[in-house]
């Protein structure tokens, strides 16, 4: 029992995050406002020991704590101090003076230290003014895990979801979005209810700045990384005939990549990630057993828009408020508005007679290798469609920000008051809902006018 308790505490704590980061080639060092302290272990240059690493070669750096402790031995004769200019430089760019002392760049940029404006010097304990910097030695893992982290970003939602709708199968996309936005809403609520902080820094380094103010348990990236691939897999298996084992391996690989990326970037502990995967894994089978019925009702019922729009907006507006502002409420509004916008847009397509039932044949469709025409048209649809959505986002954001601030009697430049009143909820909801509606109604109509629309898209009820 004690071993399980110790394992629980270890998986909940930040030390294993720092250990995993070092294992993957991230050097972690403690930084204060006045100086940068790091231990450069004895390295070998041309077979000689006792010299420091030059030209950014790989070498682990110990973490200096406020009390002088380190995750590795930290002898004083191995301590190097550099000026504040280190925190003012950007990624791998020489400083304006280009000074070199004792064979080393004084600004640390030569050794690959990232700058504060590059969101790699992250604060941990503001009372002690301690920050943690990092150096990426394994660029391959950095880009792989950054890709994994982006599989749960807003950019991913606004590119991958349209790709599924425009180029693959609208029914699969709709059913995936149903499960995704429901599980994400309650996942976000759990995060703000449990209120576990993200891994402390030090000892870990936080490579993402945007999510630093959010709580960590459970990892909603892990929820996305589980829900999206597995809901697509199950929905596709109901329509198409394909090797299910291959799809299962791909879905598991997707989930694994996202899970490890959150620990690598220092944004979650292993316990956060495990909890997110378990939450999605337990909830998915129940939801997936009803997605066909939910989807059909949302598309065909005359009362669906009132219920869908009203319920989703009220769930966002009455989302539990926190003592301190975080991006969670706004992100939740984005998520719910996508679910509502896609559902109502599809409903309108059905009411206009554009969306028709698919073939009543009980046989599964056979997936054929895509033709060159499909590749060309898919690329054209994605480029044109995303360009339209990007411009609509700018337009609708300005429109709803002006409208909401006018109705609330708040200056649109007064961000503090907007956050205090929760105005980001209607602004974000209106913006993303409008984009999602255009995504399912207007953009496919434009494709039809241009002669690049996917013919099957209107037969996937």
Which of the residues are catalytic? 221, 268
User: Which pair of structure tokens corresponds to residue 29?
Assistant: 């060092």
Please return the burial class of 353, using the count of CB atoms within 10 Å of its CB with bins 0-12, 13-18 and 19+. Answer: exposed
Rounded to the nearest 10 degrees, the angle between the axes of helix 244-264 and helix 220-237 is: 170
Pair 316, 135: CB distance under 8 Å: no
CA atoms of 238 and 172, how far apart (whole Å): 9
Question: What one-character DSSP code corresponds to residue 48?
Answer: E
Separation CA 209–CA 215 (nearest Å): 13
Two tokens, residue 35? 């100086």
Rounded Cα gap, residues 164 and 171, in angstroms: 9
Number of helical (H) and strand (E) elements in the chain, helices listed first: 15, 11
Helix 304-317 vs helix 328-351: crossing angle, to nearest 10 = 170
- Judge contact between 206 and 177, C-beta under 8 A: no
Crossing angle between the packed helical segments 270-288 and 2-12, to the nearest 10 degrees:
90
- Residue 202 preceded by cis peptide, ω within 30: yes
Q: Tokens for 413?
A: 């430049």
Residues β-bridged to residue 239: none
CA distance between the termini of the chain: 53
The residue whose two tokens read 């065909």 is 300
Phi, psi of 176 (to 5 degrees): -65, -45
Under a CB-based contact definition with an 8 Å cutoff, are residues 14 and 267 in contact? no
3-state secondary structure (DSSP) of residue 199 = coil
């Amino acid at each position: 029992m004690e071993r399980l308790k110790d394992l629980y505490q270890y998986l909940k704590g930040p030390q294993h995050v720092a250990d995993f980061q070092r294992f993957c080639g991230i050097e972690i060092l403690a930084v204060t406002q006045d100086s940068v302290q790091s231990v450069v272990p004895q390295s070998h240059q041309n077979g000689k020991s006792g010299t420091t690493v030059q030209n950014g070669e790989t070498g682990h750096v110990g973490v200096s704590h406020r009390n002088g402790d380190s995750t590795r031995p930290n002898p004083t004769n191995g301590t190097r101090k550099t000026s504040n200019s280190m925190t003012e430089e950007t990624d791998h760019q020489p400083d304006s003076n280009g000074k070199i002392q004792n064979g080393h760049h004084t600004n640390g940029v030569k050794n690959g230290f990232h700058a504060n404006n590059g969101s790699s010097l992250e604060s941990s304990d503001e009372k002690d003014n301690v920050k943690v910097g990092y150096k990426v030695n394994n660029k391959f893992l950095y880009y792989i895990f950054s890709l994994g982290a982006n599989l749960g970003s807003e950019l991913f939602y606004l590119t991958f979801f349209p790709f599924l709708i425009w180029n693959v199968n609208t029914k699969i996309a709709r059913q995936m979005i149903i499960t995704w936005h429901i599980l994400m809403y309650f996942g976000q609520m759990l995060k703000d209810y449990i209120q576990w902080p993200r891994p402390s820094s030090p000892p870990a380094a936080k490579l993402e700045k945007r999510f630093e103010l959010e709580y960590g348990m459970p990892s909603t990236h892990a929820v996305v990384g589980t829900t999206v691939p597995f809901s697509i897999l199950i929905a596709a298996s109901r329509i198409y005939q394909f090797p299910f084992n291959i799809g299962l391996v791909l879905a598991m690989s997707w989930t694994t990549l996202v899970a490890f990326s959150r620990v690598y970037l220092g944004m979650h502990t292993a316990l956060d990630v495990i909890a997110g995967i378990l939450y999605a894994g337990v909830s998915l089978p129940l939801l997936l057993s009803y997605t066909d019925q939910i989807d059909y009702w949302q598309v065909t019922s005359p009362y669906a828009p009132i219920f869908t729009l009203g319920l989703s907006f009220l769930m966002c507006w009455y989302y539990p408020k926190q003592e301190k502002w975080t991006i969670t409420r706004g992100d939740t509004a984005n998520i719910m508005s996508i679910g509502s916008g896609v559902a109502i847009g599809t409903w309108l397509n059905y009411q206009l007679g554009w969306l028709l039932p698919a073939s009543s044949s009980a046989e599964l469709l056979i997936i054929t290798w895509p033709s060159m025409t499909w590749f060309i048209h898919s690329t054209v649809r994605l480029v044109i469609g995303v360009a339209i959505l990007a411009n609509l986002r700018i337009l609708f954001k300005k429109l709803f920000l002006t409208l909401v601030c006018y109705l609330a009697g708040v200056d649109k430049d007064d961000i503090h008051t907007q956050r205090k009143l929760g105005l980001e909820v209607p602004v974000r909801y209106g913006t993303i809902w409008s984009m999602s509606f255009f995504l399912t109604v207007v953009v496919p109509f434009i494709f039809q006018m241009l002669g690049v629309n996917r013919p099957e898209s209107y037969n996937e009820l």
